[in-house]
Amino acid sequence: MAYSRIQKLASYIRPHWKQSTTGIVALLAVNALGVYIPLLIRNGVNDLENAIDLSQITGQVLLILGLASVMWVIRMISRILIFGVGRQVEFDLKQNIFEHLLTLEPSYFSNSRIGDLINRATSDVDNIRRLLGFAILSLANTVFAYGLTLPVMLTINVKLTLFSISVYPVMLILVQVFSDKLRDQQMEVQEKLSNVSDLIQEDMSGISLIKIYAQEENEQRAFERYNQELFSANLSLAKTRNFLFPVLGGLASLSLLILLAVGDRSIAQGELNVGDFVALVLYIDRLVFPTALLGFTITSYQRGEVSIDRIEAILNVQPKIHDHPDPIPLSTPVRGWLTARDLSYSYPGDQTPALDRVNFTIKPGETVAIVGPIGAGKSTLANALPRLLDIDIDSVFLDGQDITQLRLSQLRNAIAYVPQESFLFSTTIRENIRYGNPIADAYQIETAAKLAQIQGEILNFPQQYDTIVGERGITLSGGQRQRTALARALLVDAPVLILDDALSSVDNQTATDILQNLTTGTQRKTVVFISHQMSAAAKADRILVMDRGRIVQEGTHAELVQEKGLYQSLWNQHQLEELLI
């Protein structure tokens, strides 16, 4: 195993070093007893030969039984401790991976395969648990068994010992020859497994699409292909293992056969007494099991090695968006003054910028609509404001403070954001609405629901606010989902509210009413209303018109409809659509 991987393993075990050390020491004690007991048996056999009295023999038998019981108890303790470390590390790693994933920006997940991430956080972590439990136990056991047993065997009879272990170098060479192959095959299996997990995850999420386009057969074929690849990878691995393991087991048993054959002759020639021969047989028997297990130990190592790399690949991804090392505290109360200065942003690999030197100022309490054709950069702008994108310093300011200098949690507490896709968790409507403020009371939840114009519909559900939505419950309509997501954002009571086409599934009149609800009252929020719904946008205090990443027009609806330009044509098109409806 490469040094860097050993270092990684050591770092996983370090927090549990006391438990691991106790486990290993217990294992050492087991092996010391395992070496001592055959010596007692040897003496017993020799005493029998010399016809020592029965009471002395009984005492020896009782001592052996007592020591064997102690050995059994210590062995059990060592197993509990060492396997326990494996489980602890499994827990820590799952925790670390999940916490690390939460620090990464949304773009990481758009560019990753979710099935593969799940596989790494579960199956790969499981492989490391096995490596740190079974493989460490088995390796330490083998090292102790050899380290303590061989010297004693050599003191009993050098020739017989060397004859019996003559096959062991062959076993070590075999292990060395096959280890690279096993690791590559294991890596292949993990990757193919990720492909299968990925396809299941994607297909289950996009099941409606598959049915609408009647693509069941194609998806079945794709799954069969991935499954076949996994099957073949598993089969190749199994072939290698099924060749190697029995050969190792057979060679280990061969050592016992050699001892029996050669020992027999040595006793006949008077070179060895029966007691020594029995002890040697017991010692070789002690070595057969750990040696035969070598194959499984190697597999656990190979799996673990591959999995360490796959897990570290996630843990080494550095979040691009993080707190400034020396963050400036946001002055409170936050007023909601938003400024963009030459804000530009290009998605990785894109030639044309999605935002191209955008400039604007939005005053506290102002409602500003952002309109523009598809792909104009509106959502990119919405994502830039709460720093969901890695924007340049000095390009966006909240209350005059550069948002890249602020603590992320402070910035995001000040900005409530409803994205285009309204995601709801598989829990009750109540829990969904109070997601950002888990201690909100019933009055606060209902006020937010009323403002979002969803209260009436919630009260019509049999379980009302206790209705479970999503995978485990009822399915809400697109408009209901959007208004529930809006209620969630309103409950946070942030001074800035960004709605990114968040009412697209709600009819124009309701969208206009909701916007009116949000923009009246004494404590007005700063509202950035991104929308294709021109009649709702027209009610905003001011409108920014975007095209190809730039703000091309700015003004009130009354001003913009008079001005020749993009807004006028968008408005005319909207009027025409209204007439046709």
Ligand X SMILES: Nc1ncnc2c1ncn2[C@@H]1O[C@H](COP(=O)(O)OP(=O)(O)OP(=O)(O)O)[C@@H](O)[C@H]1O
Residue 212 or 374 with smaller CB distance to ligand X: 374
Residue 16 or 378 with smaller CB distance to ligand X: 378
* Residue 574 binds to ligand X (criterion: CB under 6 A): no
Token couple for 149: 């047993």
Q: Give yes or no for a contact between 322 and 103, defined as CB atoms under 8 angstroms apart.
A: yes
Q: What is the largest CA-CA distance in the chain?
A: 122
Which positions from 480 through 539 interact with ligand X, judged by CB under 6 A?
501
Least Å distance between CB 355 and ligand X?
Answer: 8
In this structure, the number of other CB atoms found within 10 A of the CB of residue 402 comes to 17
Q: 156 to each of 43, 279, 567, how far by Cα in Å? A: 12, 9, 99
Residue 349 or 400 with smaller CB distance to ligand X: 349
Least Å distance between CB 566 and ligand X?
Answer: 13
Report the distance separating Cα 56 and Cα 440, nearest Å.
79
Residue 230 or 530 with smaller CB distance to ligand X: 530
User: What burial letters (b/e) apply to 432-468, b meaning 16+ CB within 10 Å?
Assistant: bbbbbeeebeeebbbbbbebbbbbebbeebeeebebb
Which positions from 361 through 400 interact with ligand X, judged by CB under 6 A?
372, 374-380
Q: Give yes or no for a contact between 399 and 331, defined as CB atoms under 8 angstroms apart.
A: yes
Q: Which of 55, 110, 208, 522: binder of ligand X (CB under 6 A)? A: 110
Q: Which of 354, 433, 445, 518: binder of ligand X (CB under 6 A)? A: 354
3-state SS, residue 525: coil
Residue 182 or 376 with smaller CB distance to ligand X: 376
Q: Give yes or no for a contact between 337 and 526, defined as CB atoms under 8 angstroms apart.
A: yes
Interaction mask 313-332, ligand X, x per CB under 6 A: --------------------
CA dihedral 482, 365, 437, 423 (to 10 degrees): 20
Least Å distance between CB 88 and ligand X?
Answer: 39
Token couple for 459: 């009260």
Least Å distance between CB 377 and ligand X?
Answer: 4
Least Å distance between CB 537 and ligand X?
Answer: 12
Q: Count residues contacting ligand X (CB under 6 A)?
A: 13
Cα 303 to chain centroid distance, Å, stands at 17
Least Å distance between CB 420 and ligand X?
Answer: 6
Least Å distance between CB 378 and ligand X?
Answer: 4
Q: 448 to each of 191, 369, 440, 537, how far by Cα in Å? A: 46, 21, 10, 21
Least Å distance between CB 362 and ligand X?
Answer: 18
Which positions from 332 through 351 interact with ligand X, judged by CB under 6 A?
347, 350
In this structure, the number of other CB atoms found within 10 A of the CB of residue 46 comes to 16
Residue 410 or 482 with smaller CB distance to ligand X: 482
Interaction mask 442-481, ligand X, x per CB under 6 A: ----------------------------------------
Residue 55 or 110 with smaller CB distance to ligand X: 110
Residue 84 or 319 with smaller CB distance to ligand X: 319
Instruction: Identify which of 524, 529, 471 has the alpha carbon closest to the alpha carbon of residue 499.
Output: 529
Least Å distance between CB 375 and ligand X?
Answer: 4
Cα 524 to chain centroid distance, Å, stands at 41
End-to-end CA distance of the chain: 70
On the question of a cis peptide bond just before residue 169, with omega within 30 degrees of 0, the verdict is no
Report the distance separating Cα 347 and Cα 345, nearest Å.
7
Beta-strand (E) ranges in 24-85?
A: none
Residue 22 or 379 with smaller CB distance to ligand X: 379
Residue 78 or 380 with smaller CB distance to ligand X: 380
Least Å distance between CB 479 and ligand X?
Answer: 18
Contacting residues toward ligand X, per CB under 6 A:
110, 347, 350, 354, 372, 374-380, 501
